[in-house]
A and B are shown apart, each in its own frame.
Chain A
Amino acid sequence: MARLIPVSGARSRSLLVGAVLVGAFGAAALLAPALAPHDPYAVPHGLEAASLRPPGGTYPLGTDLLGRDLLSRILYGARVSLGIGIGAEILAATLGVLVGLAAGFYGGRLDALLMRLTDVVMAFPSLVLAIGLMAVFQAPGLDKVFLVLVLLGWTTIARVVRAEALALKQREYVLAARALGLGDAPLIWRHLLPNAVGPLLVAATLGVAGNIVAEAGLSFLGLGAQPPTISWGAMLAEGQTFLAISPWVAIFPGLALMLTVLGINLLGDGLRDRFDPRLRI
């Protein structure tokens, strides 16, 4: 596959910009209770006056229909977005590493079975399968989104790890180490994982971005987070209703979402250029 040749200096620049963006939203998520100027859940008294206020004054980004401060809600929304994005990816990556190791290291029937399973899961376009999966549950909710993202997110990493394991098995020093009676566990720890860490990190970073977009998409469709959970996707769905009269309700949560994903993609680009030029988006 073709190599992406970076514009000179772009590698470190994308890493930097990406890190700054992700760091900013990470800080927003962690410090939301301290940073938020208002209670993001409270419906104010005198609702009529507070409803759908344009940006400005005590409400820097305006308010939604129920008079709630959009800035505070976006800050709290970062917790859901990043929490789901990173949390689901950690579990999915762990699952992927285990599957990939089992398939690559032990081979045979197990390998065939696991790889067919990987093929089947990858045969589905992930968002479509995620939407379809939501039909299985009686009620939508963030916990189900999390589950679905883990169940669908392990395949790429499983393939990456399996390929590394297969390649490693052929190397002479591994054959030698085995002949000397070195067990599987030390091999995996000392040789396989260090080799795989680059591609793993890149795949996991892009996985986080994918999870965040998927959560927002499902919540936008009403299949994700439910109130009072604050999700950018759900805020956007509400924003679409009031797009013509109060566009700020749709603009700001989407902007936050885009900047977060952009930051993660930049981070991923930078990491990829550093670790593994073969991978591409």
Chain B
Amino acid sequence: MSPRAIVLLLSVLCLLADPGWAARRGGTYRLALVTDPPTLDPAQATDTTSSAIIRQLFDGLLELDERMQPVPSLAARWGVSQDQRVYTFHLRPGVRFHHGRELTARDVKASFERAARGKRPWVFEKIQGAPAFIRGQAQAIRGIRVPDARTVEITLERPFAPFPMLMAYDAAFVVPVEEAERLGPAFASRPVGTGPFRFVAWRHDDQVALEAFPGHFRGAPFLERVVYRIIPEETTRFAEYLAGNLEHVDVPTGHFRALRADPALSRELHVWPTLGTYALRFTVTRPPFDNPTLRRAFNHAIDKEAIARVILEESVVVARGVLPPGMPGHDPALVGHPYDPEQARRLLAEAGHPGGRGLPPITLHYNVNPLHRRIAELVQAQLRELGVTIQLASLDWAAYIKLVDDGGTQWHRMGWIADYPDPENFLTVLFHSRNHGAAGNTSRYANPAVDRLLDEADRLPLGPGRLAKYREAERLIVADAPWVFLYHYTSRLLQKPYVRDLERSPLSGAPEMHVAPLRKVWLDR
């Protein structure tokens, strides 16, 4: 064989090889958290900070791939019955927890029951018998059966096509229950899972350290260690990144434009969409916002472009409806209610309040946060142009969420980021009349036609027919304008050039959550 042919053959072999072939092992991945994680127990977490770490320590039956499709994880394969109600998961053999014991189907059932009585019971409420168990009226969840040590059979109350996505959600991660019971609340700070990384140490408000778990069922990850440093101040995180002490970092407020113009740093800047929607929600059950015309007037009065351009430095996408781009069912043809002060004036008059006359005092509520405050101040100034005076009121999150849940505001800000990439997680949760209040529909919006469409869509198998129903529902919702749709979130990240195979999740806008899972990441240096 000629030398040329050998080179050619080698090149072809290289091309054919798995991309991971070139990946290097070793190194520490350092990233920042904004706050100390409240817990590392999947059953207790409700926040993105906790979830970010939990996702490295534990596995679920399934996981979502880059295209947000459910794929095998602890379950090697799964199937669903003809009536779409019974899911059977076949566990992968030889999966071990960090403390050495082998995973069995009993762990799955016990973990789910433990988590169903934790902080996110809604993840399990579609399972038969789960509501009774959550309320403490049953000893076990009837719908979870363990025919043998390798098989878990889950029966749903009624068909729910996105169910496999729930099985990839971090509230449904599997824990070794005897460890969790032995440690009690301390499990939250000494977690044991099956994940690619295992827990090493946690110095509160300083750092959380993980190390590679060589016994992971997919083999050891590339990184040797992962260190989360807790750095609340965004400018400090940024300075640490520039000093080479972090592998990636969020973009600090006010810096996005400068970074994009910077010849060196702009190449480390990454922006991608997050499946989330920021909106100012009206309470539609009470005057004055029980009037859709007035709600539409407010929608047209607010310059969403200015919010996106100045306050968010052109880093977000202006919203025209509920579903963000990238979400199945997103309707690019939707027009929504673009900024149009003239139209706003006309509608205001049509609603019986020409020039804002005769409107009762209106208060816009937001929870304490500089971004929300800036947006509220801008909205206040823009409505003033139309002759509409609004008051601003900010509350800390605890008081805020309660007031909002109880329907105590006239108008409030709220963001929503997908728990799983399915329109049900937006439209049904946030607009179905059965979900009024804490369950998600804080506008208390109710439209029988929308309810009917959502109920039908929720039960259909995945596919275009289902999405068409969601689209129809969204069009009705947008026309009723229960929210002022402001923008869809994006994630913004600076990432060192030597970081490879960092996957970008559209499921969170939080800086620590941009990336999951870390097991695929390696450092090219």
Do A and B pair up? The answer is yes
Listed from nearest, the 5 A-B pairs whose CB atoms lie closest are A43-B381, A138-B399, A139-B395, A47-B310, A242-B254
Which of B252, B254, B255, B380 has the most chain A CB atoms inside 10 A of its CB?
B254
Decide yes or no whether A140 CB sits under 8 A from chain B: yes
Is there contact, CB below 8 Å, between A48 and B235?
no
Q: Which residues of B contact A95 (CB under 8 A)?
A: none
What residues of chain B lie closer than 8 Å to A140, measured between beta carbons?
A: 368, 394, 396
Of chain B, the residue at the smallest CB distance from A43 is B381
Out of B254, B309, B392, name the residue touching A241 (CB < 8 Å). Answer: B254
Chain B residues with Cβ below 8 Å from A132 are: none
A227 touches B376 (CB 8 A): yes
- Once bound together, how far apart are the Cα atoms of A244 and B254, in whole Å? 9
With both beta carbons as reference points, the residue of chain B lying nearest to A243 in the complex is identified as: B235
* Nearest B residue (CB) for A52: B254
The B-contacting residues of A in range 196-254, CB under 8 angstroms, are 222, 226-228, 237-238, 241-246
Residue from the list B370, B381, B384, B395 in contact with A138, Cβ < 8 A: B395
- Give the residues from 29 to 81 in chain A that come closer than 8 angstroms, CB to CB, to chain B: 41-43, 47-48, 51-52, 65-67
Contact between A139 and B393, CB atoms less than 8 A apart: yes
Contacting residues, chain A, for B234 (C-beta < 8 A): 241
In the complex, chain B residues whose CB is within 8 Å of the CB of A222: 368
Q: Which of B302-344 contact A (CB under 8 A)?
A: 306, 309-311
Set of chain A residues within 8 Å of B252, measured between Cβ atoms: 241
Q: Report whether B254 and A246 are in contact in the complex, using a CB–CB cutoff of 8 Å.
A: yes
Contacts of B393 in A (CB 8 A): 139, 226
Give Cα A42 to B385, complex, Å: 10
Q: Which A residues have a C-beta under 8 Å from some C-beta of B? A: 41-43, 47-48, 51-52, 65-67, 138-140, 222, 226-228, 237-238, 241-246
**A245 to nearest B CB, angstroms?**
5
Q: Is the interface of A mostly helix, strand, loop or mixed?
A: loop
Distance between Cα atoms of A226 and B394 in the complex (Å):
7
Given contacts A138-B399, A241-B253, contact A42 B394 (CB under 8 A): no
Q: Does B374 contact A (CB under 8 A)?
A: yes
> Which listed residue, B258, B370, B378, B396, touches A238 by the CB 8 Å rule?
B370
Residues of A within 8 A of B309 (CB): 47-48
Asked if B258 and A245 make an inter-chain contact with CB atoms under 8 angstroms apart, the answer reads yes
Q: Inside 8 A of B255's CB, which chain A residues have their CB? A: 244-245
Tell me the smallest distance from the CB of B312 to a CB of chain A, in Å.
11
Interface presence of B142 (CB below 8 A): no
Known A42-B381, A66-B381, A140-B394: A241·B370 in contact at CB below 8 Å: yes
Q: Once the chains bind, are B254 and A65 in contact (CB under 8 Å)?
A: yes
Query: Who on chain A is nearest to B253 by CB?
Result: A241
- Give every chain B residue within 8 A of A245 (Cβ-Cβ): 254-255, 258
- Whole-angstrom distance from the CB of A114 to the nearest CB of chain B? 34
Whether A66 contacts B395 by the Cβ 8 Å rule is no
Residues from chain B with Cβ under 8 Å of A228 in the complex: 377, 380, 392
Chain B residues near A47: list those with CB within 8 A: 306, 309-310, 378
Q: Does residue B92 face the partner (Cβ distance < 8 Å to A)?
A: no
Contacting pair A244 B235 (CB below 8 A): yes
How many Å lie between the Cα of A47 and that of B304 in the bound state?
12
In the assembly, what is the distance between CA of A48 and CA of B370, in Å? 19
Q: Which residues of B contact A238 (CB under 8 A)?
A: 370
Q: Which residue of A lies closest to B399 (CB)?
A: A138
Cβ of B373 under 8 Å from chain A: yes
